[in-house]
Amino acid sequence: MNQELSLFPSGNKNPQGGEQHQTDGQARPRSKRPFDVRILNRWMLMATAPFLGALMFLMLSTPEVRLLGGDSASIGHEAATGTDPATQPGGNGAATGTDSTTQPGDAPAPSPATAISGSLDQATVVAGQTADSIKRAAELYNQTGQRMSSIVQTARTQSQRPLMIYDRRIMMPLGSPSRTIQSDRLTAQLFPIKAQNFTAYALKIRLKDKEAMKLVIGGDKPGKAETTLAAVKRYDAVVGVNAGGFADDGNGRRYPLSTTVMGGEYVNGFEPSYKDLFFVGLNEEGALIGGKYTSRDQLDREQPKFGVSFVPVLMQDGIAQPIPPKWQISPARAPRTVVANYKDDQLLFIVADGYNESGSSGATLAEMQILLSRFKAVDGYNLDGGGSSTLVFDGRVVNKPSDNRLRPVATNFLFFS
């Protein structure tokens, strides 16, 4: 018979190490064991004791977990006793059917899920109301912006109304323009004039940009000269008019006469006005300035941007000025170029045709004064005339120069679109 080993022997052991007896009463032969079973049992108990203790602790001490509701006292009680207050007398379980936190007649407390759902619904309503408010505010803002734009446009139109009325007034004696150049920088209008003794052209300019007009010197260097058409092409201008007088040095060089300013700088220094000479040009604000200046400080106070000199002054403040006797007869008639201004700072150029310089064709200075007065000009100045008189409009020479060819001159006024 095979020998059996048991962790927990079923027989009684003789204290003196005698034989073991089976429960059936039969004696078995005594066997010699390789080791003591009790030692193995003790070792196993010691090895598994920590794990068994931890398992029992977790089983007995795990508290009930609740999402929301409940109070800290009941949770502490459950953790300490391992029982649920809902199952105790007075609890809120099925045993009594009542809630310990509610009084008779009170509505049952909402569940956590119901509270969260209600909060979300309320937040959705508030968000919708906020979005509607923002939308209404945006619509109101847009409507206000449109109204303000309309008001500004109306105010701008109303502010321009006096100018428009004034422009119509000065346009009436000029008639309808034969050609017009319209841009963001200027408005240039060309008017043909048929007088009793001559034909002429009026050029009305409204500068919208102070840089749309400039004075140029022939070849950009004193002593050189070029035709008005050549200057227009070289600078890519749309309109050109001959400017101030000049002096020949006998060697083919032509220098601007007397005081000349270009780009805010004096070309040949300042020369006080003498005899009937004057200075005329534009200031830094784009307004026409002119007259006789006895000192540089006097002219500097006008802040000249560019200008030229010639003779004589024809009109000041709407009043015709006396014409020096010499200029009444020398020559009596001739091709003429005149510059003037209006009350709203528009510019007016008049270029009269003449087929010679002998005094038998063209316009007299008195006739030019009559035209300036008829066209309601404020100040008027005579520029270089004769064969120098040239008007270029949109790349084409409009008048008929008396030399039957274009004369190179020292200075030209140019306009840019």
- Give me the pLDDT at residue 143, please: 86
Task: Mark which of 87, 111, 145 sits at the end of a domain.
Answer: 87
Mean pLDDT, contiguous 10-residue spans, the chain (417 residues): 43 44 46 62 78 73 52 46 48 44 57 77 84 87 84 76 88 97 98 96 98 96 96 98 95 94 96 94 98 98 98 98 92 96 98 88 97 98 97 97 93 98
Q: For residue 240, tell me if it sits in a domain.
A: yes
Q: For residue 53, tell me if it sits in a domain.
A: yes
- Give me the pLDDT at residue 74, please: 47
* DSSP H helical ranges for 217-352: 228-235, 296-300, 325-329
- Provide the strand spans (E) within 343-405: 347-352, 380-382, 391-393, 396-397
Q: What residue numbers bound the domain in which 79 lies?
A: 37-87
Q: CA separation (Å) from 39 to 6, 42, 43, 45?
A: 13, 5, 6, 10
Task: Please say whether the beta carbons of 217 and 235 come within 8 A.
Answer: no
Q: For residue 361, tell me if it sits in a domain.
A: yes
Q: Examine the domain organization and report whether 69 and 178 are in the same domain.
A: no
Coil, helix or strand for 40? Answer: helix
Q: For residue 157, tell me if it sits in a domain.
A: no
Q: For residue 385, tell me if it sits in a domain.
A: yes
- Give me the pLDDT at residue 15, please: 41
Place of tokens 């508030």: 126
Q: For residue 140, tell me if it sits in a domain.
A: no
* Radius of gyration of the chain measured on its C-alpha atoms: 57
pTM of the entire predicted model: 0.65
Q: For residue 22, tell me if it sits in a domain.
A: no
Q: For residue 116, tell me if it sits in a domain.
A: no
Task: Please say whether the beta carbons of 108 and 114 come within 8 A.
Answer: no
- Is the bond into 222 cis (omega within 30 degrees of 0)? no
- pLDDT tens by residue, 103-151: 555 556 667 777 777 777 888 888 888 888 898 888 888 888 888 888 8
Q: Examine the domain organization and report whether 53 and 195 are in the same domain.
A: no
Task: Mark which of 56, 87, 118 sits at the end of a domain.
Answer: 87
- pLDDT tens by residue, 159-216: 777 888 999 999 999 999 999 999 999 999 999 999 999 999 999 999 999 999 999 9
Task: Mark which of 70, 87, 104 sits at the end of a domain.
Answer: 87
Q: Let me know if 24 is exposed, middle or buried by CB neighbors in 10 A (0-12, 13-18, 19+).
A: exposed
For strand 239-242 and strand 246-248, is the pairing parallel, antiparallel, or unpaired?
Answer: unpaired
Q: Examine the domain organization and report whether 67 and 197 are in the same domain.
A: no
Q: What is the spatial distance between Cα 273 and Cα 327, in angstroms, rounded to a whole number?
A: 17
Q: Examine the domain organization and report whether 79 and 178 are in the same domain.
A: no
Task: Please say whether the beta carbons of 11 and 23 come within 8 A.
Answer: yes
- Give me the pLDDT at residue 108, please: 64
Give the chain's domain count. Answer: 2
Q: Examine the domain organization and report whether 81 and 210 are in the same domain.
A: no
Residues whose CB falls within 8 Å of the CB of residue 271, separated by 6 or more in sequence, listed in order: 258, 259, 309
- Give me the pLDDT at residue 110, please: 66
Q: Examine the domain organization and report whether 227 and 375 are in the same domain.
A: yes
